[in-house]
Amino acid sequence: MSELRKKHPEVGTCVELFAGGGGLAMGIHNAGFRPLLVNEYATRAIETLQTNEMPGGGKWPLKAGDVRTLVEDFKKLDGQVDVLAGGPPCQPFSLGGAHKGTEDERNMFPQMFRAIQEMRPKAVICENVQGLLRKSFNPYFQYILNEMRLPFIEREAGATWEEHNEVLEKLLANDSVPSFERYDVKYHRVNAADYGVPQIRQRVVIVAFRADLEVGWDEFEPRGTHSDESLIHSMREGGKYWDRHKEVDPEARARAIANLPKLDLDNPKTKEKLALQPWRTLRDAIHGIDEFEGRSLPFVNEKAVNEKEQVGGISDHFGWPGARMYKGHTPNLLDRPAKTVKAGVHGVPGGESVMMTDDPAFDGSGYRYMTVRETARVMTFPDEWTLAGPRGEKMRQLGNAVPVKLGKVFADAVAAALHSVEALKKPGGKR
């Protein structure tokens, strides 16, 4: 059954900021959190959220517009929110952005801090690009963590973030702030492929719990469930990967196996990785595995590519012409996780959404563009989820999103940690 048709037992409430095309919001809702407010600014993403229902039915409680205007909306939710989630616009820190960091007006972390201050959620899930961990941004990243730890300490008028950070560090060192005005914060460097997402996607997930709830980090365990070693073994030594892809031409299979590295099966670390499930591949996503329940996407032939035809009755599954390789780019391979889906400063980079087909003669090159629906599957969006706008805008929404499955993994872990201390039964802390 699709996640859009499943009903999940309610475990708490949530607010989603910077919702974009709905990946993180959907993942958190699939974990059982009921949304009280969902905010988004971009026109096409707003249309997407308006078009689609929440998993189990019902319209999203969408509050469209600039997050900076949501003042009374936040204050009305004081003490009612179990999880505040969001991925503040990451362009200031991404390799595709202008590298302006804190000077970039698109930096929306201050709005996340304000939301924490005004709503006092029990937990926070904040996703962002790995570029946030670059050495050049490390001082500001530490400031992000400190301000999330002490969100109620106001920054003095005219003070720089460096000056405010000094104040925060002194208060943290002295342990002088009461627990109901503090958050325990940790960040996690993750690859979405390690959690069953058919895509290599390196990200940073920051998680915070309100300190007065006394949630121990031992109760928070979003462990990886899949590994590359297990995929390699299932393609070569084990062969089980090909049991579910029996339709693959022997020559295509041989090419895929020839490029695999050898495994040191006597290495204890390798043995640990082999105990996990195999990484999911682009072929897995297209042919249907896990949440797609064996529902294979219809084959995209050369006519569909050249004439931009819809293939089958699935939304956003259109061929797209003009695929070619660019210097410095490599194509997506069917028998590996897809490359990171990107939004790009000037739209979707052509080479990043090109895939190598099984047929070296396909359309004269062996390459074609991934369809929007194939890309959505790589992001673990349900097939019923439709995206608004032209192709470029749909791909932009997907590139900016959090994979639904990854969002659910962290939301499940937060729910389990909160329940482990009966946090959801406690009243909100008093300021």
Nearest C-alpha neighbor of 74 from the set 149, 33, 127, 15: 15
Comparing C-alpha atoms, which of 16, 73, 76, 72 is closest to residue 49? Answer: 16
Provide Rg for the chain, Cα atoms.
Answer: 22
Token couple for 225: 């469930």
Give 10-residue mean pLDDT values along the chain (431 residues): 61 95 96 96 96 92 94 93 89 51 69 94 94 87 95 92 94 94 96 97 96 88 92 88 93 92 93 96 95 92 96 93 82 95 60 88 93 97 95 94 96 93 54 42
Domain boundaries, the chain: 12-224+398-425, 227-273
The reported pLDDT for the residue numbered 185 is 97
428: number of CA atoms within 13 Å, CB side?
A: 18
Give the span between the Cα atoms of 183 and 65, in whole angstroms: 28
Closest CA to 416 of 253, 194, 221, 276: 221
Which CATH number applies to 12-224+398-425?
A: 3.40.50.150
Q: Is 126 a catalytic residue?
A: no
Query: Which residue has 């028998």 as its token pair?
Result: 335
Q: What is the pTM of this model?
A: 0.91
- Which candidate, 201, 251, 202, 198, places its Cα nearest to that of 226? 198
Angle between helix 138-149 and 109-119 (nearest 10): 10
User: How confident is the model at residue 142, as a pLDDT?
Assistant: 94
Looking at residue 428, its pLDDT comes to 54
Beta bridge partners of 190: 203
Q: Which of 30, 127, 13 is nearest to 78 (CA)?
A: 13
Report yes or no: 183 and 116 within 8 Å, Cβ to Cβ: yes
3-state secondary structure of 72: helix
Closest alpha carbon to 87 in 118, 41, 32: 41
In terms of residues, how long is the chain? 431
Q: Per the residue annotation, which of 90, 190, 338, 409 is the catalytic one? A: 90
What does the pLDDT read at residue 5?
Answer: 56
Phi, psi of 21 (to 5 degrees): -80, 0
The pairing of beta strand 367-369 with beta strand 354-356: antiparallel
